[in-house]
Structure 1
Amino acid sequence: MEKLLNLGRWLFPLSFLMYVGLHFGQPEIGASFVPTWLPGPLFWNYFCGVCILAFIVSALLRKYDKLSTLLMTLYVFLMILLVHIPRAVESENDMLNIFRNIMVIGALLVYAKYVTKDHRIVG
């Protein structure tokens, strides 16, 4: 049972690879989520893709993993505030993205608390 539970340490960060693939494989879709008041939507799309990839690598290598997990939490929270709430005002379909991202934030915080090994950030 313990081996099965330990798979979560690998599966959770690797599940974010889908977002990396979307950011780099279909950049126009990711850029369409960038708020119109921010210049350079393609830059922000690629920048976010690199940040997500940095979280994955950090979590798998267990180097600065707590910091990267908390920064990933901040990224998802900012996505809720800057992208999904404004879009939900126009279309209730984005409410699902808000709820999904709240669940992801919860999972990231649990991961940061119980899985990460970087003890430079006390918490």
Structure 2
Amino acid sequence: MDKILTFGRYLFPLSFLLYVGLHFGMPEVGASFIPTWLPAPLFWNYFTGVLILAYIISCLIGKYDKLATLLMALYVLLMIFIVHIPRAATYENDMLNIFRNLMVIGALLVYAQYATKDKRITG
């Protein structure tokens, strides 16, 4: 049973590969979520993809994984306020994105507390 549960430590960050694939495989879609007041939407799309990939690598190797997970939770929270709340008035799917992102934040915080290896950051 412990081996199955340990697998979750790797499965959870690897699930974010879907977002990396979307950011690099369909950059126009990711860029379309960037608010119009931010310049260079393609830059922000690729930059975000690189940061998500850095989060995944940090978790897999166990270096600064708690910090990376907390920063990922902050990123997802920012996406709620910068992207999804403004869009929720016109796109009904963005209300679902808000709820999904809140669940992801909760999972990230639990992961940071119980699954990360790097103990340099303590609560």
Q: How does 1:16-95 map to 2 (within 5 A)?
A: 16-95=16-95
Instruction: For residues 31-71 of structure 1, give each alpha carbon's deviation from its aligned partner in whole angstroms, at most 9, with x where no partner exists.
Output: 00000000000000000000000000000000000010011
Instruction: For residues 75-103 of structure 1, give each alpha carbon's deviation from its aligned partner in whole angstroms, at most 9, with x where no partner exists.
Output: 10011000000010122221110000000
Task: For 1:91 and 1:30, locate their aligned partners in 2 and report how far apart those are by CA, in whole Å.
Answer: 16
Alignment RMSD? 0.7
Q: CA deviation at 1:23?
A: 0.3
Q: CA deviation at 1:3?
A: 1.0
Structure 2 runs not aligned, ≥5 long: none
Task: For 2:122 and 2:85, locate their aligned partners in 1 and report how far apart those are by CA, in whole Å.
Answer: 31
Task: For 1:111 and 1:14, locate their aligned partners in 2 and report how far apart those are by CA, in whole Å.
Answer: 13
TM-score normalised over the length of structure 1: 0.98
Structure 1 runs not aligned, ≥5 long: none
Instruction: For residues 2-54 of structure 1, give each alpha carbon's deviation from its aligned partner in whole angstroms, at most 9, with x where no partner exists.
Output: 11111100100000000000000110000000000000000000000000000
What is the identity, as a one-letter code, of the residue corresponding to 1:75? Answer: Y
Task: For 2:92 and 2:21, locate their aligned partners in 1 and report how far apart those are by CA, in whole Å.
Answer: 26
Task: For 1:50 and 1:91, locate their aligned partners in 2 and report how far apart those are by CA, in whole Å.
Answer: 27
Task: For 2:104 and 2:75, locate their aligned partners in 1 and report how far apart those are by CA, in whole Å.
Answer: 11
Classify the secondary structure of the residue corresponding to 1:8.
helix
State the identity %.
76
Aligned residues: 123
